[in-house]
Structure 1
Amino acid sequence: MSVTPRRPLQEVLDEFGPLKDSTTVSASQAEGYRGRLPDAMVDFWIEHGRGQWRDGLYWICDPEPIMPVLHALFAGDPEFDAARMVPFMRDAFGEVSIWHPKFKVITLNVNSGTVTTTDITTKVIEGIPPFDDDMAVAAAVDANVFDVHGWVDSRSGKPVFETVRRRLGPISANQVYTMVPHFRLGGDGAAKDFSIGGFIEYLGVLTQMGSFTFERYVDPKEGGRGAFGHLEAVRTIGHDRLIDN
């Protein structure tokens, strides 16, 4: 029996509809990323543009404004080469999803100061063959938009997005909900601590605030703690080992 292949990103479109606040991407502009980003995302830009789902919690974003921040953050790193990175998605609090040909999906959590990687092109999940690059980038989008709720209050464990948006209103494609006092400087990370600011400016400030840590996921089958495993610090970005800030 033949199986009809899934069309990358169709599931999120079926569930959440077309992008809101969308901007068109010309074919020539999108084609400039062909070979640097999976075809599924390049084709998606051409067909649907860039914009947001879930009232601005998740944005398919323009890579170019983010690149200077990545070049500064990963300068001199022994593994991560910013020149091979293409940011393709971000959330309302500044977390950025980045494509890399080797590591596949890199998640930059600027508020926590962490970098993680996810490569589902090498693993078999529930008997399903490993994904190709097109389905890997689509899965990264799906995982966020379907399952994750953005920044979570460290005390209550509850997502803050709805409360923050209700108090401050929506953000645009070049804005983000900014945290002051910041979590990395002793703030609570509670809903009351957020305001609206420039997205790129916020990234720039946070990447200069202190060192970022590369973390790896440890599966329970490999000794990971708890039912879902855990993240452990591997090294400091820009160094081959963990260093003190």
Structure 2
Amino acid sequence: MTAAEFLEARGKPHEARRISEVEAESAVGRVPEELRQFWMQHGVGYYANRNYWLCTPAHFEGFLRQILANVPELNADDLAAFGYSSLGAVNLWHKTGRHFTFSLDVALLMDLTSRSRTDPPPHDLEEIYRAAGVDMPENAVELFLEARSAPEDIWSILLAATSTDSYKAIYDDSGKALTPQLRRRFGELSQNEIYFRDRNAGENTADHYQKLNISEAVSCVPDEIYYSFAVEVGGQQQIVSQTIPADSVR
């Protein structure tokens, strides 16, 4: 996907803020150049009814450098924030073209690229081809495995993240749509604000959230980092989780 295709599908960011020359320069080599040019031309603002906000790497840089300092085999300076959701899920781009997310409320760092690149071939691969009206080639499994290693596409990531429908499908523990409740209870979000869930809350319901500035939210991040990534063992995907105590990162 290209920037032009994203722009055609989603339009320009709303309430866009022009980025400074310093912000633009600091993003060189840290995100795809096409995205940097998009920021310079259109600024950063919101999509999906204020549920997703574009941002430059500078927005979370100091916090990420500190909180992720001792994550094994990962240099925090290689990660750059490029957007965040109304619930505090920050999208991160690794300079090697990998996609991570960091959830502020639970301090969960997820390597999403490792998951897509270790997905086993689906058991119903032939049915998938049949449903598409296409004959399954003899090397269908090899084609699937080859496709897993395709580079991440930041515009496809943003297209999914800015989908209004995806936020309608987030439910609380009672089965009710969560984001409309939060909007009614706390009002609409402005730039640099999120709905932040109380980490000590037993249930995921609207009354356990509050509206916070990003600076307030990062100060409330839990005392441990949870790092989740996937590896392939014997042709099967295994999810690995590591816990990093706060005294090793802050």
**Range class of TM-score, shorter chain:** 0.7 to 0.9
The CA deviation string for residues 133-162 of structure 1, in whole angstroms up to 9 with x for no partner, is 6xx221221221236328944523554112
Q: Residue 193 of structure 1 is aligned with which of 188, 200, 208?
A: 208
Please tell me the residue identity of whatever aligns with 2:202.
Answer: G
Unaligned runs of 5+ in 1: 1-5, 225-230, 240-245
User: Match of 2:139?
Assistant: none
Tell me if 1:137 matches 2:154.
yes
Q: Distance in 2 between matches of 1:152 and 1:58?
A: 14
TM-superposed CA distance for 1:74, in Å, is 1.1
Q: Residue 183 of structure 2 is aligned with which of 162, 165, 175?
A: 165
Please tell me the residue identity of whatever aligns with 1:203.
Answer: V
User: Match of 1:235?
Assistant: 242
TM-score of the two chains, using structure 1 as the length reference: 0.75
Tell me if 1:211 matches 2:218.
no
TM-superposed CA distance for 1:71, in Å, is 1.7
Please tell me the residue identity of whatever aligns with 2:227.
Answer: F
The 5-angstrom pairing of residues 69-88 of structure 1 reads 69-88=63-82
Q: Distance in 2 between matches of 1:33 and 1:173?
A: 20
Higher Cα Rg: structure 1 or 2?
2
Conservation of the 8 A alpha-carbon contact between 2:230 and 2:240: no
Conservation of the 8 A alpha-carbon contact between 1:115 and 1:215: yes
Cα distance change, pair 59–150 in 1 and its aligned pair in 2 (3 A): farther
Taking every aligned residue pair, what percent have the same amino acid on both sides? 22
Q: Distance in 2 between matches of 1:154 and 1:170?
A: 19
SS in 1 for 2:162: helix
User: Match of 2:38?
Assistant: 44
TM-superposed CA distance for 1:213, in Å, is 1.5
User: Match of 1:227?
Assistant: none
TM-superposed CA distance for 1:31, in Å, is 3.4
Q: Distance in 1 between matches of 2:166 and 2:42?
A: 23
Conservation of the 8 A alpha-carbon contact between 2:23 and 2:58: no
Tell me if 1:177 matches 2:195.
yes
User: Match of 1:7?
Assistant: 2
Q: Residue 110 of structure 1 is aligned with which of 80, 96, 104?
A: 104
Q: Residue 60 of structure 2 is aligned with which of 46, 62, 66?
A: 66
User: Could you say which structure has the greater relative contact order, defined with CA pairs below 8 angstroms and 6 or more residues apart?
Assistant: 2
Q: Distance in 2 between matches of 1:154 and 1:172?
A: 23
The 5-angstrom pairing of residues 95-106 of structure 1 reads 95-102=89-96, 104-106=98-100
* Aligned-residue RMSD, C-alpha: 3.2
Q: Residue 57 of structure 1 is aligned with which of 25, 37, 51?
A: 51
User: Match of 1:17?
Assistant: 11
User: Match of 1:243?
Assistant: none
Name the count of aligned residue pairs.
219
Cα distance change, pair 31–152 in 1 and its aligned pair in 2 (3 A): same
Tell me if 1:90 matches 2:84.
yes
